[in-house]
Structure 1
Amino acid sequence: MQIHATAREAFASGRTKSIAFRKAQIAQVGYMLKDNEQRIKDAFKSDLGRPYQETELMDLSVVYSEVRSAYDSVEKWTKPQKVDFQFNWFAMGPKLVAEPKGVILIIAPFNFPAFLLLSPLVSAIAAGNAAVLKPSEQTPAFSQLLAELLPKYLDPKLYAVINGGVPETTKMLELQWDHILYTGNGRVGRIIAAAAAKHLTPITLELGGKNPVAIDPKMDIQLAAKRILWGRFSNAGQICLAPEYVLVPAHMQDTLVEEMKKVYKSFYPDGPENSDSFSRIVSTAHTQRIKKLLDETRGTVVLGGASDVEKRYIAPTVVRDVPLDDSLMGEEIFGPVLPIVPVKDVDEAISIIRSKEYPLAVYVFSNDPKFEEKVFSNTKSGAAVTNETVITAGDGYYTGKHCFEQFTHWRVSLKNPSWVDKVAMGFRYPPYKPDYMKAMKAISASLPPRPGTTGGAAKRWAFWVLFALVGAGSVVLTRSRGQLKA
């Protein structure tokens, strides 16, 4: 593929090594969005029926933050790192140097195309890489706009967009990349992991899941209802970090439902179908899938429930008394439908969470540190969040310094002076002699105290003082000889 070959050649030219170049390209990502904000918002309106405010909050503002952070921090991030001090190696000045991996492939889903493509791109640029972006074919308006804008703002040989569907993505995965970052579902994640394995390509996968909410019976239910419904209904529920189901003590389910009804009315006073504050599902196929899950539920719909497949509309919906083997509790819903599962207590809630695959987030609504600690310490997830939902999307392995490090190879560097062989490491050269073993043991690391004893490891300060003195003397002697020759 020509784009791949061009990116490799451009990377090999070495121009991404310049920090000034990286900063200029990072800034251009921000200005590409800023100069074209309305066109981008209109594209998302076309693709997702998304309100402008949600695009500003969940796509644009997050990328602006990434741009500012990377621009201000790239010198610090790329600065060589010292390794932990060890007597055996300090004379060699060992350090870790941040090297770019090469050409990065970034594959994003449809739900937040700007954020999930451009935030990793900023990190890839900061790390000194070339990058190829693959937007979702399910957001054609934005994908086409990005393909138009990117070469106008960034170096087109180093950074490119490839549009298309499964055939194009399959072709891309046949090529050798230096790192692949994919955000999406587990099914596609497995395909990408298998393709990457053929080339031993490192990958970063950010995959969806069913994110639970555990509610403390002593919690302010009004606040919980408002934040849970916001997280579930924003972007029509098409958020990988959205709460997927609520675990609430059975005796509190009625109270929670009543509070949710009040919040629902405040969100959509004239109903959600005609609201300019509610998005649409990305495609009729996804709409039909969500409708089927809803049609087959054995729970009771208490809010919403309406749908129109042709208009890609699923009403924001709450379903109570949902059994664990229900249609809504299998696959990730990825839509504006929220099941409520009544439980006996927090122990049952924890048992349910642990019975499923690790989610992206576990949400707890509680003001009791003991309740919070009990849930988090007995479950696993990508994020552990108290009294909030969704907003951790701006943190993690695909953002900021963490993402920079995903795209960075920390290259070990050291320089060993010649005098080290004379005072400490001459024993490594053949022919080996009995005395060499003593010298080797003298500089070997000592073990910690044996468990159950109070004794410490033997100290060898005399050896190291001698090592330092001889080393310093060798340096002085070398300099003196140099001055005499001069």
Structure 2
Amino acid sequence: MSETYEQLLQLQRNYFYSGETKDVHFRIQQLKKLKNAIKANEKKLSDALRKDLNKSDFESYLTELGVLYNEITEAVKHVKAWAKPRKVKMPITHVGSDSYIYPEPYGVSLIISPWNFPVNLTIAPIIGAIAAGCCAIVKPSELTPNTSGILAHLLKQTFEDRYIAVVEGDVATSKALLALNFDHIFFTGSVTVGKVVMEAAAKHLTPITLELGGKSPTIVHKDAKLDVAAKRIAWGKFTNAGQTCVAPDYLLIHKSIKERFLEKLMYQIKDQFGDDVTQNSDYPRVVNGSHFDRLLSYMKDGTIVFGGRSIRERLFIAPTILENVTWNSAVMEEEIFGPILPVIEYETEQEVIDMVRKRPNSLALYLFAENKKMEQVVLKHLSFGGGCINDVIYHVGTTRLPFGGVGSSGIGAYHGKYSFDAFSHEKGVMHQSTKIDIPFRYHKTKGGLKVLKRIMK
């Protein structure tokens, strides 16, 4: 099988060398074809998402399909400008030269996508690859087989294998692909698997983009507007049953408002998902049994003050709030990726900084506060991939902001122009005049050192 993958890689590399994928008009045409294919298969994709994760049509469009349409529209509109060489101003030491930055596609990229947003997080990197002028081999997640099957059919019907190819399979397939010498790897998934991808890339010194995760803190300060905070946190945490890499992972709540806030949060959960969420046919399920068991084990790490209901045969876990957890609890040691929300109280700003700093850098951070001083304290002293002030998750839905992690939560960013950049190398080239030749650059030029010291300081 690895020989087949090697042949596929070579097929795409040969096509890339033909130069056709670099033509900007070709890129625009392919982006439009992709958008039309998604629209034509919209119902099939929504049905597959329902089968795999019990996502409603509303949630599928909001978090999977609609954002992709925005991404493609943005790329079609701006890719000519993105791909155009940019002239840069040169210093006096380079008089007579014109210098440019040439955006250059990496070549053949490997895209490995996750199961939690299997349409969005498979297609979004493909948009970047096409816009940049790359070819790509795509490996969707085997944990959402219905969606992966529709995606594979859609992409195979839209593109030739020499351009965009799909390889379905399990972990063994991913390992076989990672053993090959790609020009770029784009991986979305867990920190644990991200380390495996990085190790594989290191063997060939392959450029990588890692979109990982981590424990994204959500801070509710004493002056926060509690009704708004509760409404937005309930929505952001329990969308997709909490299986979102940028979901609020745990709450840090000022002691003085904790009880009032929790009452409002419980009200919002009931209001958005129903008094009896077991009767909500649109509430998403946990992806599989192993994840279900892992999440249930977390509930033993604290006191359940809301929710806690589970139905194994339906892979159902209700929105759950935990109190009395410690930093040494299993629920606080790794990303939860499910509908369980631990709550920890604090009294001072410095406590927040100290608690968050002790954890690895998160993919997201959220702060609810009206106090500008608290906002500046958090932004100045804490490192995280991206986030929101007085909201959650919504920053991911725009093409104008880079989305990516820092440190253990990822390497690189994408969305909009940043997707183009993720699949591109910026090649700097200086065009030097032959009509001017500056003498002081050469060895043994009389007075050369004196001139250099005057202009290079």
If the length of structure 2 is used for normalisation, what is the TM-score?
0.92
Instruction: Give the match's secondary structure for 1:94.
Output: strand
> 8 Å contact 1:322–1:342 — kept in the other structure?
no
Any stretches of 5+ residues in structure 1 without a counterpart?
449-486
Whole-angstrom CA distance in 2 between matches of 1:75 and 1:445: 41
Alignment of 1:330-479 (within 5 A): 330-394=333-397, 395=401, 396=403, 397-421=413-437, 424-425=438-439, 428=442, 434=444, 436-439=445-448, 441-442=450-451, 446-447=455-456
Alignment of 1:20-419 (within 5 A): 20-294=25-299, 296-297=300-301, 299-394=302-397, 395=401, 396=403, 397-419=413-435
Listed one character per residue, the Cα deviations across residues 151-171 of structure 1 (whole Å, up to 9, x for unaligned) are 222243210111111111010
C-alpha displacement of 1:104: 0.7
> 8 Å contact 2:440–2:449 — kept in the other structure?
no
Supply the AA of the counterpart residue of 2:341. L
Instruction: Give the match's secondary structure for 1:385.
Output: strand
C-alpha displacement of 1:344: 2.3
Higher alpha-carbon Rg: 1
Judged with a 3 Å threshold, the aligned counterparts in structure 2 of structure 1 residues 224 and 179 are, in CA distance, closer, same or farther, namely: same
Q: What is the percentage of aligned positions where both structures have the same residue?
A: 36
Judged with a 3 Å threshold, the aligned counterparts in structure 2 of structure 1 residues 270 and 177 are, in CA distance, closer, same or farther, namely: same
Listed one character per residue, the Cα deviations across residues 42-100 of structure 1 (whole Å, up to 9, x for unaligned) are 01011111111111001111111110001000111011111233223242211111111
Q: How many residues align?
A: 439
Structure 1 counterpart of 2:410: none
C-alpha displacement of 1:440: 5.9
C-alpha displacement of 1:365: 0.3
Instruction: Give the match's secondary structure for 2:286.
Output: coil
Whole-angstrom CA distance in 2 between matches of 1:345 and 1:255: 18
C-alpha displacement of 1:445: 6.5
C-alpha displacement of 1:178: 0.7
Whole-angstrom CA distance in 2 between matches of 1:4 and 1:393: 32
User: What is the root-mean-square deviation in Å for CA atoms of aligned residues?
Assistant: 1.6
Any stretches of 5+ residues in structure 2 without a counterpart?
404-412
C-alpha displacement of 1:227: 0.7
Judged with a 3 Å threshold, the aligned counterparts in structure 2 of structure 1 residues 445 and 326 are, in CA distance, closer, same or farther, namely: farther
Judged with a 3 Å threshold, the aligned counterparts in structure 2 of structure 1 residues 417 and 265 are, in CA distance, closer, same or farther, namely: closer
C-alpha displacement of 1:232: 0.7
> 8 Å contact 2:37–2:154 — kept in the other structure?
yes
Supply the AA of the counterpart residue of 1:136. S
Listed one character per residue, the Cα deviations across residues 360-396 of structure 1 (whole Å, up to 9, x for unaligned) are 1111001111111112212110014111111222442
> 8 Å contact 2:54–2:282 — kept in the other structure?
no
